[in-house]
Amino acid sequence: MKECMVRLIYCEMLGYESSFGYIHAIKLAQQGNLLEKRVGYLAVSLFLHENHELLLLLVNTVVKDLQSTNLVEVCMALTVVSQIFPREMIPAVLPLIEDKLQHSKEIIRRKAVQALYKFYLIAPNQVQHIHDKFRKALCDRDVGVMAASLHIYLQMIKENSSGYKDLTESFVTILKQVVGGKLPIDFNYHSVPAPWLQIQLLRILGLLGKDDPRTSELMYDVLDESLRRAEINHNITYAILFECVQTIYTIHPKPDLLEKAAKCIGKFVLSPKINLKYLGLKALTYVIQQDPNLALQHQMTIIECLDHPDPIIKRETLELLYRITNGQNVTVIVQKMLDYLKQSKEEYTIINLVSKIAELAEKYAPANEWFIQTMNAVFSIGGDVMHPDIPNNFLRLLAEGFDDEKEDEQLRLYAVQSYLGLLEEEDAVYPQKFLQVMSWVLGEYSYIINDEGDPEVIMTRLCKLLKKTFVTSETKAWIMAAITKIASLNRGSKTVDKLIQEFSTSLDTCMRQYAFELKHLCEDKDLMKNLLPRDASCNDMVVDASLSFLDGFVAEGLSRGAAPYKPHHQRQEEKLSQEKALNFEPYGLSLSSSMSSSGFTGRQSPTGLSFGSDVSGNSTEMGQKEMSSLKLDGVKKLWGKDGYLPKKESKTGKEDKLEAVPPGSTLGGNMVDHPLSEADQEVVSPSEEEKEKQQLASTLFVGLASNNAVSLMGKADTTTQKFKRKSKISETQNSEEAPSIQYDATLSFRPLPEAQSNDNENIQSTEHVRLRKSSLSSSEVLEASVSFKRPQSLTEAGLDAKLPDCRLSPSSLFADNNIEVFQPSQVIPSVVASKASLIPSLSEELANNPHSEAVELCSCDTLAVNLCKVWTDDCLLLVLFVANRSSSALKNVNLVFENSEHFKIVEGLSYHFPVIKAQSLESCQKSVQMEKNCMQEILVGSLNYQLEMETGLEFSVTLSLTDFIRWLIFHLIQMANEH
Amino acid sequence: MIKAILIFNNHGKPRLSKFYQRYSEDIQQQIIRETFHLVSKRDENVCNFLEGGLLIGGSDNKLIYRHYATLYFVFCVDSSESELGILDLIQVFVETLDKCFENVCELDLIFHVDKAGLAGAPARAVSAVKNMNLPEIPRNINIGDISIKVPNLPSFK
């Protein structure tokens, strides 16, 4: 059996199907002698994976072996548990493994810790209760166990560093011991004591000391020590050094350590070993935000790295430069990036770099021409793999412009010119995204150059594009939209006529659609002008997502006897139920079932979608029922059943356009090295003189030299954008556009905040909206000119696709129900409220008594205790407010006063809060009486609570004689008031 | 965390691979192919770190490799590992193999795949615990040698 299993492993390894033997592996692990068991376990761990169903069969075996007295069996079981174990079976073995933590053999303890680490990774909440056992493992006398527990701690500290601050000292001690060579000699690697352990400890310390001066304080010494010790010239010591440096720069800074770390980085960067150079650059990139001067020191090295033959080094250098970019050096840096981009072939690199360039260009662009040129390069190289945000942002920038009208105009003019130039080249192949951007810009802004350029020329060029084979249908839709826009600005053009002729017979239904739309628009110029106003891309369109303007039409249709619309699923349901009815109970059931199903739809109608209320309510009960289902989507119904309506056509148009909008189709567009007309004077060729390098350095680091921290910070927060986006003002455009639009007044509502938010989705949605507007209104046009009818079959899918549209403009839906939406303001009161909840205030009946101000007695990160003295008729009432400042609920909070000979606390000395919720306040009252007379005495108390561990807070209250003489106080207060 | 250990020769033929996440056979092959393409076109005198193979773990992962004679040793790790540390781990791994086979070469890996795999297992344990206990590794392998002997059949060669 054993032999067979080994062969099976061999087969599996070679890639042959061997799943038939899995069960035997489990059996072998279950039954065999020690040797066979081992083979069985090995086979299981190789064959099965985490979620394999057969793994459940193994659980029993594991449990049995864990209880075994044979050390080897326990070991094997623990090993397999730490490799693969089903998550849901953890509780079955957890107690056994916990026991193993106390085992006398260190190897068992170590394996148990590893198994628990595995559990922590797959189900962290299951091992929460054994955190203190981890602590024990950390202090284990065997180094292996301790090292294994570090993994758990690294993971836990990564998730929540604040909870383990108290362990800092232990980690520091361990690191000290390791560095000091206290470990057994076995752990030395090339005479460095346990280097991997050191690396891990340094990482943990870095995480713990981040932004925490007090904790950082503890580790300065040991860091210094490690830096000093790691002097031997070996790879692994460099690894430790690197970690040290990183830790030093992560924790709260200490000047002389920083200095040493900087020296280390210098060593790395200048090292002839390429790996070290790479790490040095990485460290520099990491450090640069804190200490730009360091980059200045190494600027010559950085310049050299820019021309390094290794592309990885180059990329790291660019990453570094990206961090130090500012308004002054942006041209050079972007140029460098573009150069690199042109050489690189990897998709990952391109995506990454393209978005960086676009960001930099947008932020720091020194001139319009440069900006457009750069973006052209980005589009042509980045092409179809780049993130869809980039073209969207770019177009938005163009459309919304800056604050300065004139500048906008120039930018647009330049964009149009450059695109025309690009299109002039006959054989150039551009990525689809780029073509889309071009056609949009030309469509919107070509009128700017009308003085010098002929719209005919532009249109001809666009038409030519349409005929090219590499243009996808999505892009064609963009181009057609552009042509329509241009055509609207000019009286009759031959090109347009030709285009219409050509595409009216096109096989592509989309194109035919556009051609017809265009044709009808051309026939009615006034309408076209209204529909496609100049430079209106920023005006928000109001889209009546509920299509309520069709209500009248629906009502008419119904009155003519058309059947009410039923959604697809309902129709199917009915069909089914009818079939059933035919089979079993021909008449009665079919009626009732259809009734019930119509009632059903009425009930589940999406809240926002009900409209056409004018129709309902004036018919018989049965009719009403029908109406209610009609209300839900009466419009769709008409389309659905009959399909004779011209509106349908608009519908498809809309869908096509919608289809066209979502970016991200990555259809094969070839990349083109687009010639940059801008002379790149500053490019350094390897052969160039040192002098020129220095010049380059000076241009690169120009902003840094002046220690321009602001521009560096500007990197992190995007406030210093050069192109400030204008906040959009939503404009309600209503029915003037076309005679047949029946916008409800309530519908033309678009809350300002939504339009203003910079959210991408909104950008997209506004784009949708914009596009939709044209198609929507075109449908209205068609409705107006009734002469035009085109019977077309309807697809259900098309109707369903309408729902997402509705979601895009939720505001109009809400408005439909006359619900006013105020989105952003609601947030503020809740914040205020949460703050207010932590401010102690007396309940009303207590507040009527004379009382002191609430005074803070003591506080820590999680809790604060406030005291308020209330003088009631018969005693002194101490009201204690315990506020939980943390974000988690505190349980079992105990408040205890110490016994005092002078005072007596009536209700007993202690008070117990079962739970204090996060960010909330609890109060308790204690009435105090004076037992022995005294002038002034201190009442001491303490507060205990349990978070990760027992924590106590002490406080004291000074009570004086006057506190107990109520009337005196009362008088005093009154007197004070009188004065 | 180490995501995968790949060993392939100069022609991209995989010799040993271990994935610590479940991937289907096809994806494994694809990962090895892609990694080979990334690694093989790099010169001898460039750094041993690579970023951004898109397949395993996305942008967070790094490839750290070493080239010994005819074999590439590639470790896929995520950002929680120290680059140089892993580089030395590869060294340790190779040293261990060397101890097992006495002057290891590619043929050893082909014909004694069981041993190599076993040598890899402790190396992984090392990577998990990084309890660098060099003398211990060969001892573990000896235990392995006792327990499993690959059948010495001609059909397997």
> Which tens digit of pLDDT belongs to each residue from A537-556?
555 555 555 666 667 777 77
**Of A442, A365, A449, which is closest to residue A413 (Cα–Cα)?**
A449
Boundaries of every domain in chain A: 253-324, 401-531, 850-976
**CB spacing of B151 vs A3 below 8 angstroms:** yes
Q: How far is A377 from chain B (nearest CA, A)?
A: 23
Kindly compute the dihedral angle of the four CA atoms of residues A457, A462, A467, A469, in this order, to the nearest 10 degrees: 140
Highest mean pLDDT (candidates A240-254, A555-569, A579-593, A836-850): A240-254
At residue A699 the predicted structure's pLDDT band, cuts being 50, 70 and 90, is low
User: Which of B53, B84, B136 is nearest residue A239 as measured by Cβ atoms?
Assistant: B84
Assess whether pLDDT exceeds 70 at residue B154.
no
Encoded tokens for A563 = 């059947």
Give the domain range for residue B124.
2-131
Q: How many CA atoms lie within 13 A of B11 on its CB side?
A: 2
Q: Does A154 touch chain B (CB under 8 A)?
A: yes
If one compares A595 and A893, the residue with the highest pLDDT of the two is: A893
Residue B112 lies in a domain: yes
Output the pLDDT for position A396: 75
Which CATH fold topology does A850-976 show? Immunoglobulin-like (2.60.40)
Output the pLDDT for position B39: 83
Kindly compute the dihedral angle of the four CA atoms of residues A774, A780, A781, A787, in this order, to the nearest 10 degrees: 140
What's the distance, Cα to Cα, between the start and end of chain A in Å? 103
Rounded to whole angstroms, the Cα distance separating B121 from A396 reads 55
Q: How far is B108 from chain A (nearest CA, A)?
A: 16
Rounded to whole angstroms, the Cα distance separating A611 from A617 reads 13
**CB spacing of B84 vs A147 below 8 angstroms:** no
Residue type, B81: E
| Alpha-helical runs (H) found in A68-194 | 71-83, 90-100, 106-122, 131-138, 143-159, 168-179
Q: Which of A185, A238, A275, A318 is the best residue to mutate to test the B interface, defined by the most B CB atoms within 10 Å of its own CB?
A: A275
pLDDT above 90 covers a percentage of chain A that reads: 0
Q: Which residues contact A425 (CB under 8 A, 6 or more apart)?
A: none
Q: Does B79 touch chain A (CB under 8 A)?
A: no
Relative to beta strand A890-897, strand A936-946 is antiparallel
Q: How far is B3 from chain A (nearest CA, A)?
A: 14
> Which tens digit of pLDDT belongs to each residue from A210-230?
877 887 887 888 888 887 777
- For A897, phi then psi, to 5°, come to -100, 145
Rounded to whole angstroms, the Cα distance separating A655 from A542 reads 17
Q: Does B133 touch chain A (CB under 8 A)?
A: yes
Q: Which residues of B touch A235 (CB under 8 A)?
A: 84, 87-88, 91
At residue A638 the predicted structure's pLDDT band, cuts being 50, 70 and 90, is very low
Q: What is the mean pLDDT of residues A752-757?
A: 39
Encoded tokens for A379 = 């589009």
Residue B6 burial by Cβ neighbours in a 10 Å radius (0-12, 13-18, 19+)? buried
CA A932 → CA A260, A904, A956, distances in Å?
Answer: 64, 9, 19
Q: How far is A267 from chain B (nearest CA, A)?
A: 15
Counted domains in chain B = 1
If one compares A911 and A57, the residue with the highest pLDDT of the two is: A57
Q: Does A275 touch chain B (CB under 8 A)?
A: yes
pLDDT above 70 covers a percentage of chain A that reads: 60
Residue B145 lies in a domain: no
Angle at B144 between CA A44 and CA B94, to 5 degrees: 105
User: Which of B50, B82, B149 is nearest residue A242 as measured by Cβ atoms?
Assistant: B82
User: Which of A38, A143, A348 is nearest residue B54 as measured by Cβ atoms?
Assistant: A348
**Of A571, A541, A651, A556, which is closest to residue A612 (Cα–Cα)?**
A556
Report the residue of chain A nearest B52, measured CA to CA: A348
| Alpha-helical runs (H) found in chain B | 25-40, 83-101, 106-111, 113-129, 136-147
CB pairs under 8 A between A and B: 127
**CB spacing of B49 vs A312 below 8 angstroms:** yes
- For A926, phi then psi, to 5°, come to -135, 130
At residue A91 the predicted structure's pLDDT band, cuts being 50, 70 and 90, is confident
Encoded tokens for A236 = 């692994």
Write out residues 21-60 of A within 8 Å (CB-CB) of B. Answer: 35, 38-39, 42, 49-51
The CATH number linked to B18 is 3.30.450.60
Write out residues 326-355 of A within 8 Å (CB-CB) of B. Answer: 346-349, 352
**CB spacing of A186 vs B147 below 8 angstroms:** no
Matching CATH number, A253-324, of 1.10.10, 3.10.110, 1.25.10, 1.10.3470? 1.25.10
User: Which of B52, B148, B156 is nearest residue A349 as measured by Cβ atoms?
Assistant: B52
Residue B126 lies in a domain: yes
Output the pLDDT for position A471: 73
**CB spacing of B147 vs A35 below 8 angstroms:** yes
Q: Which residues contact A66 (CB under 8 A, 6 or more apart)?
A: A74, A77, A78, A93, A96, A97, A100
User: ipTM of this model?
Assistant: 0.77
Q: Residue A893 forms beta bridges with which residues? A: A913
Q: To which residue do tokens 């006057």 refer?
A: A962
Q: How far is A4 from chain B (nearest CA, A)?
A: 9
CA A547 to chain CA centroid, Å, is 34
Q: Residue A105 forms beta bridges with which residues? A: none
Specify whether the CB–CB gap between A715 and A330 falls below 8 A: no
Angle at A915 between CA A913 and CA A921, to 5 degrees: 80
Rounded to whole angstroms, the Cα distance separating B122 from B144 reads 10
Q: Which residues of A touch B80 (CB under 8 A)?
A: 154, 158, 203
User: Which of B43, B92, B130 is nearest residue A197 as measured by Cβ atoms?
Assistant: B130
Output the pLDDT for position A840: 61
- For A749, phi then psi, to 5°, come to -135, 125
Q: How far is B105 from chain A (nearest CA, A)?
A: 20
The rounded mean pLDDT for chain A is: 66
Q: What is the mean pLDDT of residues A324-349?
A: 75
**Of A169, A96, A114, which is closest to residue A139 (Cα–Cα)?**
A169
> Which tens digit of pLDDT belongs to each residue from A496-530?
777 777 777 777 777 777 777 777 777 766 666 66
Residue B24 lies in a domain: yes
Q: Which residues contact A168 (CB under 8 A, 6 or more apart)?
A: A205, A208, A209, A215, A218, A219
Residue type, A566: K
Rounded to whole angstroms, the Cα distance separating A286 from A306 reads 18
Which DSSP category does A332 fall into? H
Q: Which residues of A touch B145 (CB under 8 A)?
A: none
If one compares A354 and B129, the residue with the highest pLDDT of the two is: A354
Residue type, A707: N
**CB spacing of B151 vs A13 below 8 angstroms:** no
Output the pLDDT for position A767: 43
> Which tens digit of pLDDT belongs to each residue from A275-303?
888 888 888 888 877 777 777 777 777 77
Q: Around Cβ A260, how many Cβ atoms within 10 Å?
A: 18
Q: Does B71 touch chain A (CB under 8 A)?
A: no
Q: Does B154 touch chain A (CB under 8 A)?
A: no
Rounded to whole angstroms, the Cα distance separating A363 from A719 reads 9
Q: Does A122 touch chain B (CB under 8 A)?
A: no
Report the residue of chain B nearest A186, measured CA to CA: B133
